[in-house]
């Protein structure tokens, strides 16, 4: 039985390029593959015919011979007879065309090689004063470092890793499943292409050992919770000679007994007595730089906020210092003596009926009256 023209089999013009050939073969292979047409002998024959056509036309030398002499020019190079292609050749073709379906399983897979070490994270807790002013602290970090006796190779001193016999040093193996050929990482050497027959006794062939190292961390002034300090090259050692990772020191500022921080501003609540709120006075207010005097005007109400400019935080990324905002909280006197109660009762009696002393209260009661009047 005479063979059909290979260009006709793939459905392409004689001048078709490599990409057009690959697309045409892929389309036919997906349609005619025996796994999609179980028991269909005609589809299987057409599938083999398309594979043979692609093997010839995708090879420049075979294609040139075919274009000049037809089937006679390639039958000998193809091994003659039968379907016209061997299992090994077909595996290469199929793996090349469908490599993107299998994660790059085509020809020429590379070995694993050196790998960069992992980055590490260390949470550093600071109090507010340390975060605002900056500090230098020592931290102790567990990490993986290159094994000294084997210098990170994993092999016993005086020996060297040998070529993996499973993959021949390539780091990948080809798995054949019916007509499918999939290239995978070598299960024996895990993609490295080499195996350690005489492992180092210190690291058991890993090339790295766990150690604690002490580092000095300079914390700049103005840092806040969530800020990161990068220590380049202080992470885990890389595998098989790869570069070392980095260490990220993440700042966490503990809650303060007096101040709350919001960006570059600080907030605090200042309790004042009933009499100071009514008569006015002067208070000492704490700041991160020491105590300052705060004048309280007479008639000060709860919630009144006083701003002390420049008494906040200078941001780590530059800019002027923020402010300290002090919120007044008027304290109602408790545990009164008999005389104190008498004095307060006298005060209440003297204020009764005169709404000018309580502007907020009078306005609130007027609003209540209007509300019930509208019901």
| Tokens at 201, concatenated | 């006794």
Domain boundaries of the chain, sorted by first residue: 6-97, 120-253, 260-369
Question: What is the architecture, at CATH level 2, of domain 260-369?
Answer: Sandwich (2.60)
Instruction: Choose which CATH entry (2.10.230.10, 3.40.50.720, 1.20.1730.10, 2.60.120.370) describes domain 120-253.
Output: 2.10.230.10
Q: What is the pTM of this model?
A: 0.57
Per-residue pLDDT of the chain (375 residues; tens, 9 = 90+): 578 899 999 999 988 888 888 888 888 887 887 767 778 888 888 888 888 888 889 888 888 888 887 887 776 544 433 334 443 344 444 444 444 444 344 333 444 456 788 899 999 999 999 999 999 999 999 888 888 888 887 888 888 888 888 887 787 887 765 556 677 788 878 777 888 888 888 888 888 888 898 999 999 999 999 999 999 999 988 877 788 899 999 999 999 999 999 999 999 999 999 889 989 989 889 999 899 999 999 989 999 999 999 999 999 988 899 999 999 999 988 899 999 999 989 988 888 877 677 767 666 666 666 666 665
87-97 helix and 18-32 helix, angle to the nearest 10 degrees:
110
Per the document, the length of the chain is: 375
Cα separation, 31 vs 28, in Å, equals: 5
Label residues 298-336 b or e (16+ Cβ within 10 Å = b).
eebeeebebebeebbbbbbeeeebbbbbbebebeeeeee
DSSP of 246-296, one letter per residue? -EEEEEEEPPPSS-EEETTEEEEEEEEEHHHHHH-EEEEEEETTEEEEEEE
The domain over range 6-97 is classified in CATH as 1.10.287.110: yes
Report the C-alpha dihedral over residues 91, 21, 67, 60, rounded to 10 degrees: -60
Residue 84 CB: number of other CB atoms within 10 A? 21
Cα distances from 201 to residues 102, 145, 155, 293, in angstroms, run 38, 15, 9, 69
| Tokens at 25, concatenated | 């073969």
């Amino acid at each position: 039985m005479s063979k059909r023209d290979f260009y006709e089999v793939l459905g392409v013009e004689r001048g078709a390029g490599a990409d057009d050939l690959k697309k045409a073969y892929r389309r036919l292979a997906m349609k005619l593959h025996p796994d999609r047409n179980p028991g269909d002998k005609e589809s299987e024959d057409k599938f083999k015919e398309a594979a043979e056509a692609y093997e010839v036309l995708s090879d420049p030398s075979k294609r040139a011979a075919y274009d000049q002499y037809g089937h006679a020019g390639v039958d000998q190079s193809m091994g003659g007879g039968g379907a016209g292609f061997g299992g090994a050749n077909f595996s290469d073709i199929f793996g090349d065309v469908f490599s993107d379906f299998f994660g790059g399983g085509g020809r020429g897979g590379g070995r694993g090689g050196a790998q960069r070490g992992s980055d590490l994270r260390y949470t550093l807790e600071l109090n507010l004063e340390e975060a605002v002013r900056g500090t230098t602290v020592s931290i102790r970090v567990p990490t993986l470092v290159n094994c000294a006796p084997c210098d990170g190779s994993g092999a016993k001193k005086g020996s060297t890793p040998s070529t993996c016999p499973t993959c021949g040093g390539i780091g990948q193996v080809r798995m054949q499943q019916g007509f499918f050929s999939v290239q995978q990482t070598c299960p024996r050497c895990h993609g490295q292409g080499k195996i350690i027959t005489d492992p180092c006794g210190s690291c058991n062939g890993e090339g790295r050992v766990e150690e604690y190292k002490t580092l000095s961390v300079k914390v700049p002034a103005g840092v806040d919770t969530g800020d990161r300090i990068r220590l380049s090259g202080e992470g885990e050692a890389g595998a098989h000679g790869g570069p070392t990772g980095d260490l990220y020191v993440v700042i966490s500022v503990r809650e303060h007994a007096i101040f709350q921080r919001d960006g570059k501003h600080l907030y605090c609540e200042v309790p004042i007595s009933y009499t100071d709120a009514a008569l006015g006075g002067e208070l000492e207010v704490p700041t991160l730089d020491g105590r300052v005097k705060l004048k309280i005007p007479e008639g000060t109400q709860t919630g009144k906020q006083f701003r002390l400019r420049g008494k906040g935080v200078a941001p780590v990324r530059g800019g002027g210092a923020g402010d300290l905002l002090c919120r007044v909280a008027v304290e109602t006197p408790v545990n009164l003596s008999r005389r104190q109660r008498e004095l307060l009762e006298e005060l209440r009696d003297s204020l009764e009926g005169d709404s000018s002393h309580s502007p907020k209260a009078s306005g609130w009661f007027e609003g209540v009256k209007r509300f019930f009047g509208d019901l």
